[in-house]
Amino acid sequence: MASSPRSPVLELERVRKRFSDGTPALDGIDLEVRQGELVSVVGPSGCGKSTLLRIVAGLTMPSSGMVCLRTRRIGFVFQDPTLLPWCSLRSNLELLGELEGTPRSEHQRLAGEAIAVVGLGELAGHPPRALSGGMRMRASLARSLTLRPDLFLLDEPFGALDELTRHRLTDELAQLLLERGFAALLVTKSVTEAVFLSSRVVVLSAQPGRVVGAFPVPFPYPRAPRLRHSGAFDRLAGEVSACLRAVGQCPAEVERG
Amino acid sequence: MRLLAKWGPPLGVLGGFVGCWYAVSFLLLSPERRFLVPPPQAVVETGFLDHANLVELLEGLAQSARVAMLGLGIAAGLGTGLAVLMHQARWIERSLYPYAVVLQTVPILALVPLLGFWFGFGLRSRVLVCVLIALFPIIANTLFGLHSVERGYHDLFTLHRATRQARLWKLELPAALPAILTGLRISAGLSVIGAIVGDFFFGQGQPGIGILIDLYRARLQSEQLFAAVILSSLLGVATFTAFGVLARRLVGRWHASSASAPNP
């Protein structure tokens, strides 16, 4: 991952979202993600984190404000792996290329590369059902890689996994982002995950979501797994958690595993 | 041991049923009234071991099976097509679905004389009865399946600018396949009923098993009548089972409901 951020890939200015039933979800979000930068968004449940990602992806329209996206190549990793269960792993990875209309040979090649990157080459012919939860999530990541995205949107991608698998996948994701220099916007409930992966952690308030804190993460990349056990890491994670508690996050929901 | 656990209970019920059958035949009915419920061995001897009778029954059964499968095939194509059409826009669904429900609720016997007037008393009307009986479960299940695709998958397709055709062929129809096969399974049994009901009213052409049942009833040939009823039931069970096997083959690898669907 580039240590000095470059031009912005994504800019949000005063983005507001109110659902059709009148529920306010987001209130005046300003946010910028630069090339090679990973920004994490943490906040209480229901603060509009996922809505924010959906707005960036164009899946939900904002009520007002400006979304400036300087690329069309977006990789979205959902909370669920959303792999088509009737297709093999390889076919799943070829899907996005097919939908985007890239030439067959091209998307087959990119799918093959992406499977290899996440270490699932031997399971390419298997259906998703044959894979463990962690493998499915890795496959979902690999699927997004096939489009060579400039911006990765990650919506609590490891939320449903056990802690050990989550740490392993977080390490793998950190390595991947470092190697490829993507920009990424990560929504997570895990403060540890956010601090470990990000160059900046943004804290949203409870509904409607507003930016109430932004914490630059000073640790250089690449980050070794043992960073999680350092005093500086713990202090920063503590500050983020304290900010979350101050905005109404129930302590039990602050995950610092 | 596992075989015994699987087959023991249904075979036990069958044994009990045959026992009751014997009891009714020999204990409740006097010999001159025994034709009302002939004992099982008389049904087997006359209906299944007499070559001429067996050939007549099997030919009738084959004809009814042809009618049922033809009707089911048309209902499957028409029902799936209508459901896909309704799925394209809410207003199309709102326009057509109430009439699909009406089709389901109209007593088919009330329509039979009209069908005879319009389409004659032969094969066409028999097939049409099957179509009318089998259509609704296919429409309802296919529509349910198409509507039940999870939002995450739709988001994925929207995000990558999928065309309507790509969404239908790569996502919605495969995802709806278990529901479509469930509808087909229900309709397969119904179409057999439709073929036999059609036989009763549309007697022209090669006789189906329904025509034979009516004939045996008129002639008081109760052994053949029972044999025909047993064969008709077996045809229904066979088609239901066949579609269960088909569902397991097609979607059992990835869909739990088909992998564990019970067979009769």
* Domain assignments of chain B as residue spans, ordered by start: 1-37, 42-259
A245 and A202 in a common domain: yes
Q: Is the model's pLDDT at B76 over the cut of 90?
A: yes
**What is the rounded distance in angstroms from the CA atom of residue B263 to the CA atom of residue B242?**
9
Q: Which residues contact A14 (CB under 8 A, 6 or more apart)?
A: A28, A29, A30, A64, A65, A66
Closest CB to A59 among B150, B158, B177: B158
Q: Which residue of B has its CA nearest to A101?
A: B162
- Residues A39, A162 within the same domain: yes
- Domain boundary, last residue among A149, A165, A188: A149
* Owner of token pair 């029972």: B226
Residues A143 and A177 in one domain: no
B87 touches chain A (CB under 8 A): no
Closest residue in chain A to residue B167, using alpha carbons only: A99
Query: Which ipTM was obtained for this model?
Result: 0.85
Residue A80, chain B, CB below 8 Å: the answer is yes
Interfacial B residues in 136-175 facing A (CB < 8 Å): 150, 152-153, 155-162, 166, 170-171, 174-175
Residue B264 has pLDDT above 50, yes or no: no
Tokens 């009516």: give the residue.
B214
Same domain, A158 and A144: no
pLDDT of residue A172: 81
Q: Provide the shortest C-alpha distance from residue B81 to chain A (in Å).
A: 22
CB contact under 8 Å between B155 and A86, yes or no, is no
In chain B, the residue whose alpha carbon lies closest to the alpha carbon of A87 is B254
Site from A79, A86, A94 to mutate, B interface, most B CB atoms within 10 angstroms: A86
DSSP string, A154-176: EESTTTTS-HHHHHHHHHHHHHH
Q: Are A140 and A158 in a shared domain? A: no
B69: pLDDT strictly greater than 90 = yes
pLDDT above 90 (res B7): no
In chain A, the number of structural domains is: 2
- How is residue B3 written in tokens? 């075989």
Contacts of A58 in chain B (CB under 8 A): 159
Subunit contact B159:A76, Cβ cutoff 8 A: yes
The answer to whether position A155 is within a domain reads yes
Range(s) of the domain holding residue A42: 8-71+150-253
Q: What is the share, in percent, of chain B residues with pLDDT greater than 90?
A: 56
From A149, which residue of chain B is nearest by alpha-carbon distance? B160
A55 domain residue, yes or no: yes
Domain check: are A180 and A234 in the same one?
A: yes
Per-residue DSSP letter, A61: -
Q: Does A69 touch chain B (CB under 8 A)?
A: no
User: What residues are paired with A68 via a beta bridge?
Assistant: A11
CA–CA distance, B118 with A37 (Å, rounded to integer): 73
Is A95 in the B-facing interface, judged by CB distances under 8 Å?
yes
Examine the pLDDT at B108 and tell me if it is beyond 90: no
Question: Residue ranges of the alpha helices (H) in B89-159?
Answer: 90-105, 108-119, 123-147, 151-159
How many whole angstroms separate alpha carbon B187 and alpha carbon B170? 25
Six-digit token string for A204: 């949203």
Per-residue pLDDT of chain A (257 residues; tens, 9 = 90+): 444 447 899 999 999 999 988 888 899 899 999 988 999 999 888 888 999 999 999 999 999 999 999 888 888 999 889 999 999 999 999 999 999 888 999 889 989 888 888 888 888 899 999 898 888 988 998 999 898 888 999 998 887 777 778 887 888 887 777 777 789 999 998 899 899 989 999 999 888 888 999 999 999 888 888 888 899 999 999 999 999 888 765 443 444 43
Q: Which one of A80, A100, A129 has the shortest CB-CB distance to B161?
A: A100
Contacts with A99 from chain B: Cβ below 8 Å? 157, 160-162, 166, 170
Q: Chain A partners of B253 at a C-beta cutoff of 8 Å?
A: 86, 127, 129
Do residues B179 and B145 touch, judged by C-beta distance below 8 A?
yes
Kindly state whether residues A140 and A242 are assigned to the same domain: no
Same domain, A162 and A64: yes
Least confident stretch, A87-101, B38-52, B247-261:
B247-261
pLDDT at A254: 44
- Spatial CA neighbour of A53 closest among A144, A155, A156: A155
Q: List chain B residues with CB under 8 Å of A80.
A: 150, 152
* Bridging pattern class, strands A8-18 and A24-34: antiparallel
Instruction: Record the tokens describing residue A40, joined without a space.
Output: 């994490």
Contacts of B166 in chain A (CB under 8 A): 98-99
Locate tokens 């390595």: which residue? A175
**Are the Cβ atoms of A127 and B253 closer than 8 angstroms?**
yes
Considering only CA atoms, which of A196, A154, A207 is closest in space to residue A171?
Answer: A196
CB A104 within 8 A of CB A95: no
Is A49 among the domain residues? yes
Q: What is the CA radius of gyration of chain B?
A: 22
Enter the tokens of residue A87.
């297709």
CATH number of the domain where residue A183 is located: 3.40.50.300
Q: Which residue of A has its CA nearest to B157?
A: A99
Chain A nearest-CA distance from B146, in A, is 15
Q: How far is CA A225 from CA A107, A186, A200, A218, in A?
A: 33, 19, 18, 16
Q: How many CB pairs under 8 A join A and B?
A: 52
- Please check whether residues A157 and A231 belong to one and the same domain: yes
* Nearest-angstrom CA–CA distance, A84 and A98: 14
The minimal CB distance from A85 to the residues B162, B170, B254 is found for B254
Query: Which of A93, A125, A149 represents a domain boundary (last residue)?
Result: A149
Tokens, residue B34: 């025994």
Residues A162 and A193 in one domain: yes
Within an 8 Å CB–CB cutoff, is residue A96 touching chain B?
yes
A174-178 contact pairs (CB < 8 A, 24+): A174/A221, A174/A222, A174/A223, A175/A222, A176/A117, A176/A141, A176/A145, A177/A1, A177/A38, A177/A152, A178/A1, A178/A221, A178/A222
* A163, A214: one domain: yes
A232 touches chain B (CB under 8 A): no
A167 in the same domain as A63: yes
Q: Which of A53, A62, A123 is nearest to A92 (CA)?
A: A123
The dotted CATH code for B42-259 is 1.10.3720.10
User: Does residue A77 form part of some domain?
Assistant: no
Flag whether residue A130 sits within 8 Å of chain B, measured between CB atoms.
no
Q: What's the gap in Å between the CA of B140 and the closest CA on chain A?
A: 22
- Greater pLDDT, A231 or B202: A231
Q: Hey, is the C-beta of B58 within 8 angstroms of any chain A C-beta?
A: no
